[in-house]
Amino acid sequence: MATLMDRVRAYLRSPKGRQNIEKAKRMARDPNNQRKARQFLDRLRSKRH
């Protein structure tokens, strides 16, 4: 039986997985998404203290 990590690796090597990786990279370069991520992390950090 394949482990979870083996299944994840197989997916990431598949055409659909590579397509999703490229989509995530494009989204990560978007300044609006970067701002949203920073705001989210700031909220998480402020709640911990």
For the question of whether the overall pTM of this predicted structure is more than 0.75, the answer is no
Q: Token digits for 49?
A: 């203290």
The answer to whether residue 39 sits within a structural domain is yes
Domain region containing 49:
20-49
Q: How many CA atoms lie within 13 A of 48 on its CB side?
A: 6
The answer to whether residue 1 sits within a structural domain is no
Number of domains making up the chain? 1
Distances (CA, A) of 2 to 25, 33, 36: 28, 35, 36
The answer to whether residue 14 sits within a structural domain is no
Q: pLDDT by residue for the chain (49 residues), tens digit each?
A: 689 999 999 999 999 999 999 999 999 999 999 999 999 999 999 987 6
The answer to whether residue 24 sits within a structural domain is yes
The answer to whether residue 12 sits within a structural domain is no
The answer to whether residue 6 sits within a structural domain is no
The answer to whether residue 9 sits within a structural domain is no
- Nearest residue to 14 via CA among 6, 25, 26: 6
State residue 17's pLDDT score. 97
